[in-house]
Amino acid sequence: MIGDPGAATPPRLRILYRSHGGENAKGRPPYYSKLLSLASVVRAVRHAREAGVTAELTYWNDGPLPADRLDLMRATGDVVQVALGSNRRSYRAALDWAARSDWDDADLVWLVEDDYLYQPYAFHWLAQAAAVLPDADYLSMYGRGSLDLTSPRQAPRTHDRPGAADAPDAVSVGGATWFRGLSTTSTFGVRLGVLREDLALLRALPFSGGAWDHTSCLTVQGLQPFTWIHVREELLPFGRLPVAQWPASAARGVVHAGVNLRSRRSPARRRRLYQCDPICAAHLELSELGDTRWAVLAGEVQAWAVAEGIPIADQR
């Protein structure tokens, strides 16, 4: 199916960029830097504005940042400085801040983590999709698994082939094909009215432990994140785990049982997550990079940054 991006007015994009100065021990490609990732976002925002999209950047900085990144942020958006100390606290506080804003319910909030690389057209295509797909409550530009709509909500699954290959109701908008997705990371878009309605749930789910971003995506869609067999094993760890681990296991079981029950949303509250093919942003972890085009893009962003006077060293 082909959608007409000119048939509807794109929503205002409210890009909320969550950043902190530290690094983790994850494997990274040789060209990785947080300044490079930031420059790719600035470049994509500029491209979207040139295409007629209203896009505003707010930087949500947890703790001190290096001067080069902070200087670029101050030159390209509004900076909010916080001291929260963890990804979970930063995420929950950013959700609260967006929900309490005077922004319109129709605006699309894009929550950004600071280690992604964006294609220059990413936000333009995102805005086009949000305009053409009014049933898209959540949108992601990263993620490859299309939701098998025939799978039961108690055991949701993806199609075998990645992307939109097997998605029955995929919609082509501009340069991408958008399809119902199963899950994504903590970098995603959500219509502000939906965020306000789902706020309490979104704030609670990071306490489910483990891959709470995956758990969140399933729960808001009314899909059950945990099997009841798994929950039972956690609630009854006797003989399976050392005695010292029983209380923690039982506590996880209680939480996961509660999440399963919260996923039983009424049909009117079951959200829809759409993803795009090809992906427009890549998580810069070696375990998740699928091909060499991102190295090429990194070189293009680095060249653009140099031309703009942004001091990014070539690390390829």
pLDDT at 23: 77
pLDDT at 81: 95
Q: Give a yes or no: residue 116 inside a domain.
A: yes
- Its domain, for residue 65, covers 13-199+271-307
* Per-residue confidence band for 310, with pLDDT thresholds at 50, 70 and 90: confident
Q: Are 24 and 163 within one domain? A: yes
Q: Is the model more confident about 174 or about 186?
A: 186
**Mean pLDDT along residues 123-148:** 95
Q: CA of 173: how far to CAs of 51, 190, 303, in Å?
A: 15, 18, 29
- Calculate what percentage of the chain has a pLDDT beyond 70: 96
Considering the chain, what is the average pLDDT of its residues? 93
**Mean pLDDT along residues 131-140:** 97
**Mean pLDDT along residues 103-129:** 97
pLDDT at 108: 98
Q: Are 191 and 207 within one domain? A: no
pLDDT at 9: 86
Q: Are 128 and 152 within one domain? A: yes
Q: Which domain-ending residue is among 226, 244, 262?
A: 262
Q: Are 69 and 82 within one domain? A: yes
pLDDT at 239: 85
CB 13, CB 41: distance < 8 Å: no
**Mean pLDDT along residues 168-188:** 94
pLDDT at 293: 87
CB 78, CB 59: distance < 8 Å: yes
pLDDT at 210: 87
**Contacts with 135 (C-beta within 8 Å, 6 or more apart), sequence order:** 272
Q: Are 230 and 276 within one domain? A: no
**Mean pLDDT along residues 110-121:** 96
Closest CA to 206 of 198, 196, 214: 214
* Per-residue confidence band for 316, with pLDDT thresholds at 50, 70 and 90: very low
The CATH number that applies at residue 176 is 3.90.550
Residue 289 has pLDDT above 90, yes or no: no
Three-state secondary structure readout of the chain = CECCCCCCCCCCEEEEEEEECCCCCCCCCCCCCHHHHHHHHHHHHHHHHHCCCCEEEEEEEECCCCHHHHHHHHHHCEEEEECCCCHHHHHHHHHHHHHHCCCCCCCEEEEECCCEEECCCHHHHHHHHHHHCCCCCEEECCCCCEECCCCCCCCCCECCCCCCCCCCCCEEECCEEEEEECCCCCCEEEEHHHHHHHHHHHHHHHHHCCCHHHHHHHHHCCCCCCCHHHHHHHHCCCCCCCHHHHHHHHHHHHHHHHHHHHCCCCHHHCCCEEEEECCCEEECCCCCCCCCHHHHHHHHHHHHHHHCCCCCCCCC
pLDDT at 4: 67
Residue 26 has pLDDT above 90, yes or no: no
Tell me the range of 233-242, 253-262, 307-316 where mean pLDDT is highest: 253-262
pLDDT at 1: 62
Q: Are strands 138-140 and 176-180 parallel, antiparallel or unpaired?
A: unpaired
pLDDT at 5: 65
pLDDT per position as a tens digit, 192-221:
999 999 999 999 999 998 899 999 999 999
Q: Are 80 and 135 within one domain? A: yes
Q: Are 87 and 217 within one domain? A: no
Residue 2 has pLDDT above 70, yes or no: no
Q: Are 111 and 214 within one domain? A: no
Ranking 15-19, 186-190, 209-213, 312-316 by mean pLDDT, the lowest is: 312-316
Q: Are 141 and 237 within one domain? A: no
Q: Are 58 and 136 within one domain? A: yes
**Mean pLDDT along residues 37-58:** 97
**Tally of domains in the chain:** 2
**Mean pLDDT along residues 63-88:** 94
Look at the block and give the residue holding tokens 């094993």.
233
Q: Give a yes or no: residue 313 inside a domain.
A: no
Q: Are 24 and 116 within one domain? A: yes
